[in-house]
Structure 1
Amino acid sequence: MSRKRWRSVKEIRIADVARLAGVSTATVSRVLANPDKVRTKTHDVVMEAVRRSGYTPNSVARNLRTRRTMTVLVVVPNLANPVFAQILRGIDDELTQSGYGLVIGNLDNCLEREPRYVDLALSRQADGILLMNGRIPGDGTRHMDEAGLPMVAMCAAISDERIPSVVVQDREASREAVRHLVGLGHRRLGYVAGPTGNVIEGERYAGFRQGVAEAGLGERDFVRWEGRFVFSTGVAAAEAFLRLKDRPTGIFAASDESAIGFLKTVRAAGLRVPEDVSIVGFDGIEFADYIEPTLTTLQQPLHELGRMGARVLLKMIRGEMKPEDWSVRLPLTLLDRDTTGPAPGRAAKPLRRRAV
């Protein structure tokens, strides 16, 4: 590019873009600052003029005027978990549409990592915060909410009336998992748990217990194995299962990873799935459809969950919250695949896919 051409691009102003698009300078400013508040046709015309002219918006100056960073902090318990990876994609897609970026605060399941993100919030390096860890991070003396920034709890609700929540219907879905197994004739069940004290685990186990009670079963009719939402938990649970004389025939794992670990271990021991034991997971991660046999699971709308969480936070930032935005609970879908079948001695039932 010539020196003359370089200068001409640098000298382009917002008025030039407005003339090229055939709109006012105020309209151009509105499209660049709040793209979600203009009509699609207007947005497309202005952005085409921006591309054709080579205009570069001075985002730094604009953000200084509005005192916004155009950044959202997302606190994630463990970035290696494929569930959070899919949710983050949804968050990023929604934020991008409004000109926002994100900073990922990966706790890696370590409390020691919280102080760095508390500092980030208190120094107001973000306009809002999405919490996926089920609690307000702290550093021992200060907590993230002291920053006064808008916050939204995702995946796990937080008991604070100032913080809206966007979650899935964990309890209802877990109850449906029990109904599914009982409907196939399973009367002896197993539950592979998540972390003790975890909000999500509490909801899923409560739903499991409700399903057990609705089926007319009791404490003696199921076995619980403690653990976390990881493959190794499923392996340990399966090893304990194999040592039992009176084994459950229907297993519900509180995560797909633990369900897959359970599946691999019992098959390696010579058991047939689902002929000898049926297994239901929870999450609907992509990998669950590529194992053999394919995993029956409760599929979370992970991408939509991410988008909805970001959407609610943006409403908080703009002061546009409505009563229904404070508690959003999304349904799941039961994917009836190859790891569930009739209990031994029961007739087969057709495969189904249904919303919970």
Structure 2
Amino acid sequence: MNRHDPNFSPKIIDVARAAGVSTATVSRAITNPTMVTEATRAAVMAAIAETGYIVNHAARNLRRQQTGGIVVLVPNLSNPFFSQILSGVAAVMSEAGFNVLVADTQQPKGADLQIAQYLHNNRADGLIVLDGAIPESLFADYRRTRSRPPVVFACEWVEGFGEPSVTIDNAEGAMLAVNHLIDLGHRKIGHVLGPLDNVLTIKRREGTISALEAAGLPVHPDWFFEGDFSLASGVVAARAWLATSDRPTGVFCSSDAMACGFMAELHSHGVRVPEDVSVVGFDDIEIAQHFIPKLTTIHQPRTAIGEAAARMLLARLSGNSDDVDSVRLTVELVRRDSTGAPPIR
């Protein structure tokens, strides 16, 4: 084998020899990486680089009657929360030879029609869905479709749909946030909600209430402020907090974006964080550790969520659906500068 020979065209058998495996193993490592060990896949990838072998994805997809692409349905592409998840998905899928198309489910026109087309025809080999607010009617039609791409949920999910998912324990994360405020001495704790019908909002609200009740603290309806996960809704929540006569001294926001908007608006009114009010976020997006003050928050392993969802979808595409179970990843509290002891009054 001479890579420097201009007439040399490496074949799969050359890769197999270089990796010390069979051609069938090379094929599996390329087309279905979940079917080989990590060490075997690494050896095959190294042999491909060594030999200069070029994988013909178009021919492979034609043989397998696949498009060679998957679609990720995202509820709001402008939300920085999704960046690391998408990065994790792309890293795993590109290694497996799949292109990744990202579609925004909150486009003002034709979103439902576009989603239906992805769910019910061969425009994509599979879907990763990050939006739990997709109309149930679309998934009802999906169940009745014989030829349908496999679906994996990530972060959000549709209750009762039955497809595998990669999630975190949102209620547990909320309890970590509220218990942190309680441990600091706060007894008047508020909560900025996400969209009321969102599964994440529901679970985080449940966790907030559970932590308050377990500590014997009041669940004050006026201290539960409306929001929608956005920066702007955090500003609105801060104005509602300012207009409250009996203000909570600690506030748990259902997203970091809302927490940042909340703190920025308070700063413009001369309210200090954490001296006057402590604030906890949820997600640990990039800005959280650079905001002033640095935001105490609940860390989600976003890259790991994307990677796990992609591997789960690859397993389903390879026909291993029976071995695919839902996964719940752990969260942790990250203590920074936005929380402290309650003010003395």
Same fold (TM over 0.5): yes
Alignment-derived partner of residue 65 in structure 1: 63
The CA RMSD measured in Å over matched residues stands at 2.8
Alignment-derived partner of residue 97 in structure 2: 99
Alignment-derived partner of residue 333 in structure 2: 334
Instruction: Label 1:47 to 1:180 Cα distance change in 2 as closer, same or farther (>3 A).
Output: closer
Alpha-carbon distance, 1:303 to partner: 0.8
Q: 1:29 aligns with which of 27, 30, 54?
A: 27
Partner AA of 2:312 in structure 1: V
Structure 1, 314-323 or 55-64: larger mean CA deviation? 314-323
Measured in 1, the distance between the counterparts of 2:11 and 2:94 equals: 24
Measured in 1, the distance between the counterparts of 2:162 and 2:81 equals: 26
- Asked if the contact 1:189/1:221 (under 8 Å) is kept, the reply is no
Alpha-carbon distance, 1:291 to partner: 1.0
- Asked if the contact 1:115/1:139 (under 8 Å) is kept, the reply is no
Partner-residue secondary structure (3-state), 2:223: strand
Alignment-derived partner of residue 290 in structure 2: 290
> What aligned pairs does 1:184-203 form with structure 2 within 5 A after superposition?
184-203=184-203
> What aligned pairs does 1:306-325 form with structure 2 within 5 A after superposition?
306-321=306-321, 325=324
Partner-residue secondary structure (3-state), 1:283: coil
State the structure with more CA Rg: 1
Measured in 2, the distance between the counterparts of 1:245 and 1:20 equals: 74
Alpha-carbon distance, 1:199 to partner: 1.1
Instruction: Label 1:248 to 1:294 Cα distance change in 2 as closer, same or farther (>3 A).
Output: same
- Asked if the contact 1:184/1:343 (under 8 Å) is kept, the reply is yes
Measured in 2, the distance between the counterparts of 1:178 and 1:315 equals: 38
Measured in 1, the distance between the counterparts of 2:259 and 2:85 equals: 20
Partner AA of 1:163 in structure 2: E
Structure 1 portions without partners, runs of 5+? 347-356
Measured in 2, the distance between the counterparts of 1:37 and 1:326 equals: 16
- Divergent runs of 4+, >6 A: 138-142
- Asked if the contact 1:114/1:139 (under 8 Å) is kept, the reply is no
Measured in 1, the distance between the counterparts of 2:297 and 2:42 equals: 41
Alignment-derived partner of residue 89 in structure 1: 87
For each residue in 1:6-41, what CA deviation from the matched residue of structure 2 results, as whole angstroms up to 9, or x when unmatched?
A: 7x35x6544455566665544443343334434556
Alpha-carbon distance, 1:155 to partner: 0.9
Structure 1, 232-241 or 52-61: larger mean CA deviation? 52-61
- Asked if the contact 2:117/2:123 (under 8 Å) is kept, the reply is no
Instruction: Label 1:156 to 1:28 Cα distance change in 2 as closer, same or farther (>3 A).
Output: closer
Measured in 2, the distance between the counterparts of 1:141 and 1:22 equals: 45
For each residue in 1:83-126, what CA deviation from the matched residue of structure 2 results, as whole angstroms up to 9, or x when unmatched?
A: 11111111112223333221111223647323123223433122
Alignment-derived partner of residue 343 in structure 1: 342
Measured in 2, the distance between the counterparts of 1:141 and 1:282 equals: 29
Partner AA of 1:112 in structure 2: G
Aligned residues: 339
Alpha-carbon distance, 1:194 to partner: 0.7
Partner-residue secondary structure (3-state), 1:80: coil
Measured in 1, the distance between the counterparts of 2:182 and 2:342 equals: 9
Measured in 1, the distance between the counterparts of 2:125 and 2:138 equals: 23
- Asked if the contact 1:234/1:259 (under 8 Å) is kept, the reply is yes
Instruction: Label 1:157 to 1:31 Cα distance change in 2 as closer, same or farther (>3 A).
Output: closer
Instruction: Label 1:262 to 1:73 Cα distance change in 2 as closer, same or farther (>3 A).
Output: same
Measured in 1, the distance between the counterparts of 2:35 and 2:139 equals: 40
- Asked if the contact 1:115/1:138 (under 8 Å) is kept, the reply is no
Partner AA of 1:256 in structure 2: D
- Asked if the contact 2:213/2:219 (under 8 Å) is kept, the reply is no
Measured in 2, the distance between the counterparts of 1:250 and 1:22 equals: 60
Structure 1, 290-299 or 221-230: larger mean CA deviation? 221-230
> What aligned pairs does 1:67-146 form with structure 2 within 5 A after superposition?
67-108=65-106, 110=108, 112-136=110-134, 143-145=141-143, 146=145
For each residue in 1:160-212, what CA deviation from the matched residue of structure 2 results, as whole angstroms up to 9, or x when unmatched?
A: 35311211111111122111112222121221111121111111111111112
Instruction: Label 1:137 to 1:97 Cα distance change in 2 as closer, same or farther (>3 A).
Output: farther
- Asked if the contact 2:274/2:340 (under 8 Å) is kept, the reply is yes
Partner AA of 2:168 in structure 1: V
Alpha-carbon distance, 1:223 to partner: 0.8
Partner AA of 1:305 in structure 2: I
Partner AA of 1:92 in structure 2: A
For each residue in 1:126-162, what CA deviation from the matched residue of structure 2 results, as whole angstroms up to 9, or x when unmatched?
A: 2211111014568979845535221111112222353
> What aligned pairs does 1:141-156 form with structure 2 within 5 A after superposition?
143-145=141-143, 146=145, 147-156=147-156
TM-score by length of 2: 0.87
Is 2:167 the partner of 1:171? Answer: no
Q: Percent identity?
A: 40
